[in-house]
Amino acid sequence: MKASALGDVTYEQLANKLHSCVIGNNFEQLTLATGEQLEGFKPLPDDCHGNAKRWRELHPQHQVVPGFLVINNNLFRKHSVVDTGLLLLDITPRHKNESTSLLRFIVFDGSGCFDALPNEVIHIEGDHH
């Protein structure tokens, strides 16, 4: 995985890092899980972190991958997916009004506490301190 640029930083630094990752094409492509890939697993809406943990209990060879879903070049949402060894699989169902084309994902690098990071990060243009 090439995209890992997060860590123990301030909100502004985090926003700038995420924005830089997108601009530099330093992100991963997600695959939305199909019914066949889910193999009967019933993920819950709005519980990506719980879904990924439950998936790993059933598939110990897979890894939970925390990070940020790229909504646009300046908006990022905390999200968890699973690494099957072949691809990053997004197992959490999308809302009807949420685009299935949101497939860019920036992997959290593990430094600092992912749980303490904000659920949504907004980068403000020109805010590069």
Lowest-confidence range among 43-57, 66-80, 115-129?
Answer: 115-129
- Say whether pTM exceeds 0.75: yes
The DSSP symbol for 119 reads: S
pLDDT of res. 101: 79
- Candidates 27, 29, 30; CA nearest to 92 is 30
64-92 pLDDT per residue, tens: 999 999 999 999 999 999 999 999 999 99
Confidence of residue 4 (pLDDT cuts 50, 70, 90): very low
DSSP 3-state helix, strand, coil percentages of the chain (rounded to 5)?
25, 25, 50
- Report the C-alpha gap between 83 and 80 in whole angstroms: 10
**Given a cut of 90, is residue 99 above it in pLDDT?**
no
